[in-house]
Chains A and B, each alone.
Chain A
Amino acid sequence: MPQKHLVIGLFLFFTATTVFLFWQNERELDPDQGKNWWTFSFTAPEREESLSFTLENHSDKTDFQYEIAVGKEIISKDTFIAKRGEKTIVTPPSIAKQKERVKITVTTGNEKKEIYR
């Protein structure tokens, strides 16, 4: 068998390998492909009075609730919808700088996350 055939064989198998690896990497890096996670953060961390937050949803859940508490006192709560694969910005009214910790809690099902200033 001429060595050229071996080179062609190698090329074909390596091409198939490459296609698979690019496909696999793209699939793994796709935040919504078979994954279930979400994050949330202050939309403008540099502005202390702003309570606006962004929820990036890559989970199956779409119904979320939030609660804003100053110390132990809950000053505001509401529900909102965040679709999978989207960033949802929620903008509660701003409040003046507080001595106590201002905490935003977001829950969906049994999951809960908190951010605070």
Chain B
Amino acid sequence: MRPLIDTFVFFLATGILFYLPGWTLLRVFFKKQSLFSPLERLILSFGISLGLIDFLMIIIGKLGIAINIFSLFVGMIATLALLVNATFITKRLKKNETRTEEIPEQTFSFSRRQGTLFIILIALTLFIKVIYLTHAILPTATDLGHHMYWSKLIVTTGTLPSYAKQEIITGTDGIYRLTEPEPIPDFIIGEHLPFAALSLFTGLDFLSAFPVVFLLLINVLSLLTLSILALRFASGMQSPLLPKNALTPQNIALATLFFFGPLFTLASPQAKFVSGGVVGNVIGNFFIPLILLVLYRAFREKRPGFLALGFFLTFVLAYTHHLSTLILLFVLVASMLLYLITHYDTLETLLSSWWKLVSSPGPLLVACLSIVFFFGVAMPTYIETNAVVTAIGTPTKTTRTGLSFFQLASSGGEARIALGLVGLAILAGLRRQRRYAGAFLIGWCAILLIMTLRPQWLFIDIPSNRIVTYFSFPIGLLSAFATITFFATLRNAQSKLRVPGMVILIMSLTLFVFSLGNGSLDNNQTLLPKSKALSLLQTFSASRYLAEHSEGKNILKDHNYIAADSWIKLFFLRDYAYPLSRGFFKRYEDNPNREQCTLLMISIPNTARGEKCYADLDVNFVIINPHFDTTQFEKSEQFSRIYASDDIHIYQRKK
């Protein structure tokens, strides 16, 4: 019964928080409802709502009002009322819009067979993801634990978090000390506010399934967005060199869903990122195609309203994930440059039409409001801490100097990469870059290819294995284009090249098995062997014990061998770096300037250096995994073992 109630409150809160505001905004600002298909309305409502809730919570927090269910509810009603009242403004703005192209709505309706296939693909996708999440639904992931700390802090304190943590330093007198909390640029507010809002509205615990389910929802919506993007792109890329039905939008949308749904559905950046709590990337992977969809329609249909929406969504992304924002900006610049280059003969006319679009009241208003919010209300933490400069420059570390093509293929899936590159060649060969859809798709793929293989060309100093996860999106779209175009051309009755039906069947099966085999292997490699429930329960039980008995004294825990250790801090909510943590061993080796106390206090607690660390930092309790670290504490007369379970021991330092 409880799961049913949890599901009900989750959907109710998600509907109120993450659908209703966006849906209202679309109703108010885009009167003509036929502008959006139902699927488009769904994804746009979600994206807009996410932004509105984020900004509303930031404003409430900055006004000094407690962030709770009451203030959030009143704020939402006020925002919605404001939006409805803004109708009269939009009426005037709409008069300025000039449209050049109306796409008939039936272009995007699915046949019965296509619709059934769509639902089957969605069901299959969810089924595979659920198999994976059966063992990964538990709150064990390190990143998710870090993020949920901040979300729980917002819920508990009712204020916006100050992203800072205590550090261990060595004073000039040689004594180790904990600093006052110092700013950290790793977190961005938009990664935590949606979870805080959901927890406030539902009362669901952060240790429940809701954070992962919410990330799964975003992941599924991002698949839907890619599919719709493919649908829109395909409608704008017909070529006289191809048979009429070669780029059937619905088939390409379905092929896209196939390449992102059942295939490659577990590895990064999909279900693995969902269970791993890679919040920023999961949200970023939803926003990037959504923004491209909106901007594509803005430019193609010459609608300033869409451009304003694109500006707003980009602004939301900037408050959610810095890397995704950077990638998006590169993609936009590359696509625009490509389009400009291919229209060098009509550059003046083109720039003039762009200027007309950008200088319309809607986009200008959103741009102005964004600037006011940015400078007057709150800046993203990575701007405040000047973290942007660390991502720009010539890469020096080997992890940032780019991947080999083999690594790229392995990461993106050989089948998808092979087909995607064929798709890229087809579009370039057909000069589809002269269309907005082609320019976006080719620009998107090309810039990510350069960022992944040769980041030094663009002065990008970011881990290459993080950039490559973004590459799967354009390459997957291109795979869908390649596959559908290829078979439609072979089947074309008017084609000079007549291929026997049997050959087409064999080729289809070969391609299908290649894609399926490669995609399923990728899924198979990602599946978790067994549940971590037992270890996790022991960690949480020990955490509750210390929360009751530690009396605010310093605690040290181990990150290497304790399950779900990053979630321990949710039981204390004292500081992001509380309890102190012995990190991965490699980090101490790679960076000799890193503080060594957290390593020494567990690895060699009985040496002079270990004892000095304990004394200087006043650490009283140590949580370790007895299968790896118990001997050094058993031998010592300085420690009492006060808690014992199979996977956790807690030691107390004697005074």
A residues within 8 Å of B by Cβ? 1-7, 9-10, 13-26, 28-29, 31, 35, 37-42, 44-46, 56, 58, 101, 113-117
| A3-B109, A15-B11, A18-B7 as given contacts; A24 in contact with B137, CB under 8 Å | yes
The listed residue (A4, A16, A35, A115) touching B642 by CB distance below 8 A is: A115
- Are B537 and A37 in contact, with the CB atoms below 8 A? yes
| A17-B126, A19-B4, A45-B549 as given contacts; A3 in contact with B37, CB under 8 Å | yes
Q: How far is the CA of A42 from the CA of B650 in the complex (A)?
A: 11
Residues of chain A with a CB closer than 8 A to B545's CB: 41
Q: Which residue of B lies closest to A111 (CB)?
A: B646
Q: Which residue of B lies closest to A42 (CB)?
A: B642
**Interchain nearest-CB distance for B39 vs A (Å):** 5
Residues of chain B with a CB closer than 8 A to A25's CB: 137-138, 208-209, 212
**Interchain nearest-CB distance for A55 vs B (Å):** 10
- Can you list 26 pairs linking A and B with CB atoms under 8 Å apart? A3-B37, A3-B110, A6-B39, A9-B122, A14-B126, A14-B217, A17-B130, A18-B10, A20-B3, A21-B133, A21-B212, A22-B7, A22-B213, A24-B134, A25-B137, A28-B138, A31-B541, A35-B533, A37-B538, A39-B645, A39-B648, A40-B645, A41-B545, A41-B643, A42-B640, A115-B640
- Are A39 and B110 in contact, with the CB atoms below 8 A? no
- Are B37 and A23 in contact, with the CB atoms below 8 A? no
**Interchain nearest-CB distance for A29 vs B (Å):** 7
Question: Is B111 an interface residue when CB atoms closer than 8 A count as contact?
Answer: yes
The listed residue (B118, B645, B648) touching A38 by CB distance below 8 A is: B645
Interface 1/0s, chain B 185-219, versus A by CB < 8 A? 00000000000000000000001111011001100
B residues within 8 Å of A by Cβ? 2-4, 6-7, 10-11, 37-39, 42, 108-112, 114-116, 118-119, 122-123, 126, 129-130, 133-134, 137-138, 207-210, 212-213, 216-217, 220, 224, 531, 533-534, 536-538, 541-542, 545, 549, 551, 637, 640-646, 648, 650, 652, 654
The listed residue (B11, B109, B531, B551) touching A18 by CB distance below 8 A is: B11
Known: A6-B39, A19-B3, A40-B644. 13 other contacts (CB 8 A): A1-B110, A7-B38, A9-B118, A9-B119, A14-B220, A22-B2, A24-B134, A25-B137, A29-B536, A35-B533, A38-B645, A39-B643, A45-B640
Q: Report the 3 A-B pairs with minimum CB-CB distance, sorted nearest first.
A: A1-B115, A25-B209, A39-B645
| A1-B115, A6-B118, A7-B42 as given contacts; A21 in contact with B130, CB under 8 Å | yes
Residues of chain B with a CB closer than 8 A to A116's CB: 640-641
- Are B130 and A20 in contact, with the CB atoms below 8 A? yes
- Are A29 and B138 in contact, with the CB atoms below 8 A? yes
Q: How far is the CA of A56 from the CA of B644 in the complex (A)?
A: 11
The listed residue (B114, B137, B210) touching A1 by CB distance below 8 A is: B114
Q: How far is the CA of A16 from the CA of B122 in the complex (A)?
A: 12
Q: Which residue of A lies closest to B531 (CB)?
A: A28
**Interchain nearest-CB distance for B336 vs A (Å):** 30
Q: How far is the CA of A117 from the CA of B111 in the complex (A)?
A: 74
| A25-B138, A115-B643 as given contacts; A56 in contact with B541, CB under 8 Å | yes
Q: How far is the CA of A39 from the CA of B544 in the complex (A)?
A: 13
- Are B534 and A10 in contact, with the CB atoms below 8 A? no
Q: Which residue of B lies closest to A38 (CB)?
A: B645
Q: How far is the CA of A4 from the CA of B119 in the complex (A)?
A: 12
Residues of chain A with a CB closer than 8 A to B213's CB: 17-18, 21-22
- Are A19 and B642 in contact, with the CB atoms below 8 A? no
- Are A17 and B216 in contact, with the CB atoms below 8 A? yes
**Interchain nearest-CB distance for B367 vs A (Å):** 32
Q: How far is the CA of A5 from the CA of B38 in the complex (A)?
A: 9
Residues of chain B with a CB closer than 8 A to A18's CB: 7, 10-11, 213
Residues of chain B with a CB closer than 8 A to A22's CB: 2-3, 6-7, 10, 208-210, 213
**Interchain nearest-CB distance for B19 vs A (Å):** 11
- Are B534 and A26 in contact, with the CB atoms below 8 A? no
**Interchain nearest-CB distance for B654 vs A (Å):** 8
Among A18, A26, A41, A56: residue with most chain B CB under 10 A:
A18
Q: How far is the CA of A2 from the CA of B109 in the complex (A)?
A: 6
Among B116, B542, B644, B650: residue with most chain A CB under 10 A:
B644
Q: How far is the CA of A39 from the CA of B642 in the complex (A)?
A: 11
Q: Which residue of B lies closest to A23 (CB)?
A: B3
- Are B533 and A29 in contact, with the CB atoms below 8 A? yes
Q: Which residue of A lies closest to B621 (CB)?
A: A45
| A10-B122, A21-B212, A23-B3 as given contacts; A115 in contact with B137, CB under 8 Å | no
Among B7, B542, B652: residue with most chain A CB under 10 A:
B7
- Are A37 and B108 in contact, with the CB atoms below 8 A? no
- Are B115 and A39 in contact, with the CB atoms below 8 A? no
Q: How far is the CA of A90 from the CA of B373 in the complex (A)?
A: 60
Residues of chain B with a CB closer than 8 A to A10's CB: 119, 122, 220, 224
Residues of chain B with a CB closer than 8 A to A35's CB: 533-534, 537
**Interchain nearest-CB distance for A15 vs B (Å):** 7
- Are A41 and B39 in contact, with the CB atoms below 8 A? no
Q: How far is the CA of A116 from the CA of B646 in the complex (A)?
A: 16
- Are B126 and A37 in contact, with the CB atoms below 8 A? no
Residues of chain A with a CB closer than 8 A to B111's CB: 1
Residues of chain B with a CB closer than 8 A to A5's CB: 115
**Interchain nearest-CB distance for B566 vs A (Å):** 17
- Are B123 and A13 in contact, with the CB atoms below 8 A? yes
**Interchain nearest-CB distance for A47 vs B (Å):** 10
Q: How far is the CA of A101 from the CA of B648 in the complex (A)?
A: 21
Residues of chain B with a CB closer than 8 A to A15's CB: 7, 11
Q: How far is the CA of A5 from the CA of B39 in the complex (A)?
A: 10
- Are A29 and B207 in contact, with the CB atoms below 8 A? yes
| A22-B6, A37-B538 as given contacts; A28 in contact with B137, CB under 8 Å | yes
- Are B641 and A39 in contact, with the CB atoms below 8 A? no
**Interchain nearest-CB distance for A12 vs B (Å):** 9
**Interchain nearest-CB distance for A33 vs B (Å):** 9
Residues of chain A with a CB closer than 8 A to B224's CB: 10
**Interchain nearest-CB distance for A38 vs B (Å):** 7
Residues of chain B with a CB closer than 8 A to A2's CB: 38, 109
Q: How far is the CA of A106 from the CA of B534 in the complex (A)?
A: 20
Q: Which residue of A lies closest to B108 (CB)?
A: A3
Q: How far is the CA of A24 from the CA of B11 in the complex (A)?
A: 18
| A19-B7, A29-B537, A41-B643 as given contacts; A3 in contact with B38, CB under 8 Å | yes
The listed residue (B209, B549, B646) touching A24 by CB distance below 8 A is: B209
The listed residue (A4, A20, A31, A41) touching B537 by CB distance below 8 A is: A31
Residues of chain B with a CB closer than 8 A to A4's CB: 38
Residues of chain B with a CB closer than 8 A to A29's CB: 138, 207-208, 533, 536-537
Among A25, A41, A42: residue with most chain B CB under 10 A:
A25
Q: Which residue of B lies closest to A1 (CB)?
A: B115
| A1-B111, A1-B112, A18-B11 as given contacts; A113 in contact with B533, CB under 8 Å | no
Q: How far is the CA of A17 from the CA of B545 in the complex (A)?
A: 34
- Are B534 and A114 in contact, with the CB atoms below 8 A? no
